[in-house]
Structure 1
Amino acid sequence: MTKVIYCVLLCHFIAAFAALGMPLFLPMVLPTLDAKIDTDWVGILFILPTFCTAVAAHFGGGFADKYGRRRSLLRSQLGLAIGFALCGLADNLTMFVFGIIIQGTFGGTMVASNSYLSSQIKDAKKLGKSLNNTQISARLALIIAPIGLGWSLSKTNPLNAYLWLFVLPLLAMAITLTLPADHLAKIKTEKGQSPNEAQCTPIQPLSTLYWVFYAQFGFSFAMVVTFPYFSPYMQQYGVTNQAWIGFLYALPHGVYLLFAGKVHLFSEWVNRHHPQCFLWLGFILLSFSAAMHLIFYQAILIVARIVFGMVCCYHALHQALANQIDRRQSGKVFSRFDAMSKWGGVSAGLSASFISSLGWLEVPFLLSMLVSGSTIIALIIHSKFGRQHVIYSITSE
């Protein structure tokens, strides 16, 4: 089982390296297509794959539950490969945009990887750790890809880089083909159940997980809204060293890489009073961090980037999914979970773009603090009153 987990994580890293690395260099790519478009369109193309992934989430989840999780993972890797090939072969903006749309619509390797892991890992605690590890592979890609691609793009045409990256998802496909196939789409029985008994077991309604989806949206929005214009915000206070700005920007991701694999022990201690305490702590830290960014002092800023809340929020949300997921519909669950993350990111990006156009670079941090705080309040209210409603909805079906 350990071999399967590491193979899936390696495949996800390979795909994420390609998918997460190139958007940063769109301003270098578009001039090679003789694309005379406004700079605002660069931002739109930046979020276009994310938007397409969110729109296609329902299709991807249904495909995984109906045809199998490994097959869904292969489909997503093939979608990335075709999207990158189209971008690399593009000789005009229309074809390039079409390639980006294919990449976003038929990609979604995070969802497919998590769905496959849920079909192979039966223990909820171990599944929660594995979901954290897929985020680790994504963070590694976010850190390594810009460095590696930045070096390689200085030596080649940016469009040629897409053709080189097209090979990476195909490599991931080759590895995935060596993994065991899942049969959850066909075999509905749990251990110790006969097929007739399993058919009588009702599928847990997705409404019991809505609070997790909404918390994911709030977390994604509050986190991402501070990202797009972090560099200009630093520069307006006289920080001109781009390497230092890059370090501060990447610091929360680095903290996640350091602690994501060990945080489960601390979370169990925090959750001894209430199963959502660790998630509340994550949003409190995120809100506190956003407020600290407004007190522009170097030492405080470093602390703010360290206590960003990313470790707590991701771990708590993943563990909540692992504890409550009905594995017969894991494709739908993870697709909706990821879609809420994507919608949160798209909404945050558009909000930050509008706010920055007005010259209010401090407002994204205020907005992050407000959304984090309101999400905490909503989660506490749900923990007090939502459980009774969920029990009633299940028993009435």
Structure 2
Amino acid sequence: MTKLIYCVLLCHFIAAFAALGMPLFLPMVLPTLGAHIDSDWAGVLFILPTFCTALAARFWGQFADRYGRRRSLLRAQLGLAAGFALCGLADNLTIFVFGLIVQGTFGGTMAASNSYLSSQIKDAKTLGNSLNKTQLSARLALIIAPIGLGWGLSDTNPLNAYLWLSVLPLLAMAITLTLPTDKTEKSGALDEIESQTANKTKHTKPSLRSLYWVFSAQFCFAFAMVVTFPYFSPFVQQYGVTNQAWIGFLYALPHGVYLLFAGKVHLFSEKINRHHPLNTLWLGFGLLSLSTLLHLMPYQAVLIIARILFGIGMVCCYQGLHQALASQINRQQSGKIFSRFDAMSKWGGVVAGLSASFISSWGWLEVPFLLSTLVSASTAIAMIILSKFGRLHVKQSIISH
């Protein structure tokens, strides 16, 4: 089982390296296409694949449940490769945009990887920890890809980089083909459809309804996190930080904290969740709220502390969300559930990016951090209140497995 988990994580890292690395270099790509568009349109292209992934998530989730989670993972990797190849072969803006749409619509490796893991791992605690590791592979790619691609793009045309990167998802596909099939793929589509029809009344509605609060919390978490990203550099420069390397370090610091602690957070979570299974999640939102508030204090030492707390908050939020999801998931609908979970993250990021752009156009660079503080604190308070009235359905298996 450990070998399978790490094979899936390797495949996800390979795909994420391509998907997360290139958007940063869009301003370098567009001039090579003869595109004379302003920065606002560049921002739209930046979020276009994410937007398409969120739109297509429901369909691909149903596809995974009906035809197999491994097949869906192979589909996501092939879609990512096709999208990057189209971008690399583009000789005008229209074809390039079409490539971005294909990348987003037919990609979605995060949801597909998590859904496949859920079909192979039956223990809720192990599954929750594995979901943390898929986020860890994404964070690792988010740090390594911009550095590696920034070095590589200095010697090549950015469009050629898209072509080279299209090979990486194909490599991930080759590895995925060696992994075991899931039950749906073995038994066939007809058996799965009949099984779902027979259990529709018993499983479908209760399972999804019991997870609505998890989806909502995921949206709020993604929004609170991402809304601080787009204009972090000019915000920090207001406080006299002008060294770009130092700004980059501060920006990446929370992701580095996640890399350090994500693998061990379950040990901490088991202790504090003994009194209530949502303590880790509440703590995560509380730390996010505190850290973004501390960003508004004009001292570099405080800023470093705030970035570290931001990273710890990310660790706790992901741990709490993943364990809540893993403890209640209906395995027959794991494709649909994980696609919706990932879609809520994508929608949160899209709304956050648009909000940050609108706010920054007025010159209010502090407001995204205040907005993050309010959303994080409100989400934590709402969950605490709802849990007191029994409105949040959380199985104690989060801590008992």
Q: TM-score, normalised by structure 1?
A: 0.94
Cα distance between partner residues in 1 of 2:392 and 2:126: 29
Q: CA deviation at 1:387?
A: 3.4
Unaligned runs of 5+ in 2: 189-193, 396-401
Q: CA deviation at 1:381?
A: 2.2
**Large movers: runs of 4+ above 3 Å:** 184-188, 198-201, 386-391
Find the counterpart in structure 2 of residue 256 from structure 1. 258
Cα distance between partner residues in 1 of 2:275 and 2:259: 27
Q: CA deviation at 1:299?
A: 1.0
Cα distance between partner residues in 1 of 2:218 and 2:30: 33
Find the counterpart in structure 2 of residue 346 from structure 1. 350
Q: Deviations over 1:174-228 (max 9, x none)?
A: 000000000146759xxxxxx99x9458224301000000000010000000000
Q: Deviations over 1:280-307 (max 9, x none)?
A: 0000000000000001211111110011
Find the counterpart in structure 2 of residue 15 from structure 1. 15
Find the counterpart in structure 2 of residue 69 from structure 1. 69
Decide which of 373, 378, 396 is 2:377's aligned counterpart. Answer: 373
Find the counterpart in structure 1 of residue 124 from structure 2. 124
Find the counterpart in structure 1 of residue 133 from structure 2. 133
Question: Could you say what secondary structure the match of 1:274 adopts?
Answer: coil
- How many residues are treated as equivalent by the alignment? 385
Find the counterpart in structure 1 of residue 317 from structure 2. 313
Following superposition of structure 1 onto structure 2, how do residues 175-186 of structure 1 map, counting pairs within 5 Å?
A: 175-184=175-184
Are the counterparts in 1 of residues 207 and 329 from structure 2 also a CA contact under 8 Å? no
Matched, 1:295 2:297: yes
Matched, 1:95 2:99: no
Find the counterpart in structure 2 of residue 395 from structure 1. none
Find the counterpart in structure 2 of residue 213 from structure 1. 215
Decide which of 226, 231, 250 is 1:229's aligned counterpart. Answer: 231
Q: Which amino acid aligns with 1:340?
A: M
Matched, 1:104 2:104: yes
Following superposition of structure 1 onto structure 2, how do residues 263-282 of structure 1 map, counting pairs within 5 Å?
A: 263-282=265-284
Q: CA deviation at 1:257?
A: 0.4
Are the counterparts in 2 of residues 218 and 344 from structure 1 also a CA contact under 8 Å? yes
Are the counterparts in 2 of residues 87 and 96 from structure 1 also a CA contact under 8 Å? yes
Find the counterpart in structure 1 of residue 398 from structure 2. none
Are the counterparts in 2 of residues 65 and 185 from structure 1 also a CA contact under 8 Å? no
Matched, 1:385 2:370: no
Question: Could you say what secondary structure the match of 1:307 adopts?
Answer: helix
Q: Which amino acid aligns with 2:293?
A: A
Find the counterpart in structure 2 of residue 45 from structure 1. 45
Q: Which amino acid aligns with 2:107?
A: G
Cα distance between partner residues in 2 of 1:120 and 1:136: 19
Q: Which amino acid aligns with 2:215?
A: F
Q: CA deviation at 1:342?
A: 0.5
Cα distance between partner residues in 2 of 1:261 and 1:224: 22
Cα distance between partner residues in 2 of 1:119 and 1:220: 25
Q: Which amino acid aligns with 2:301?
A: A
Cα distance between partner residues in 1 of 2:214 and 2:317: 11
Are the counterparts in 1 of residues 250 and 307 from structure 2 also a CA contact under 8 Å? yes
Q: Deviations over 1:74-126 (max 9, x none)?
A: 00000000000000000000000000000000000000000000000011100
Q: Which amino acid aligns with 1:131?
A: L
Cα distance between partner residues in 1 of 2:386 and 2:339: 23
Q: From the superposition, tell whether residues 175 and 388 of structure 1 become closer, same or farther in structure 2 (CA, over 3 Å).
A: closer
Cα distance between partner residues in 2 of 1:267 and 1:380: 17
Cα distance between partner residues in 2 of 1:94 and 1:264: 46
Q: Deviations over 1:41-80 (max 9, x none)?
A: 1110000011000000101100100000000000000000
Higher deviation after alignment, 66-75 or 270-279: 270-279
Matched, 1:336 2:340: yes
% identical equivalent positions:
80
Cα distance between partner residues in 2 of 1:187 and 1:212: 30
Find the counterpart in structure 2 of residue 145 from structure 1. 145
Q: CA deviation at 1:389?
A: 8.7
Cα RMSD (Å): 1.9
Cα distance between partner residues in 1 of 2:347 and 2:102: 18
Cα distance between partner residues in 2 of 1:358 and 1:47: 21
Find the counterpart in structure 2 of residue 165 from structure 1. 165
Q: Which amino acid aligns with 2:343?
A: A
Q: Which amino acid aligns with 1:63?
A: F
Cα distance between partner residues in 2 of 1:239 and 1:246: 11
Decide which of 239, 246, 264 is 2:248's aligned counterpart. Answer: 246
Matched, 1:364 2:364: no
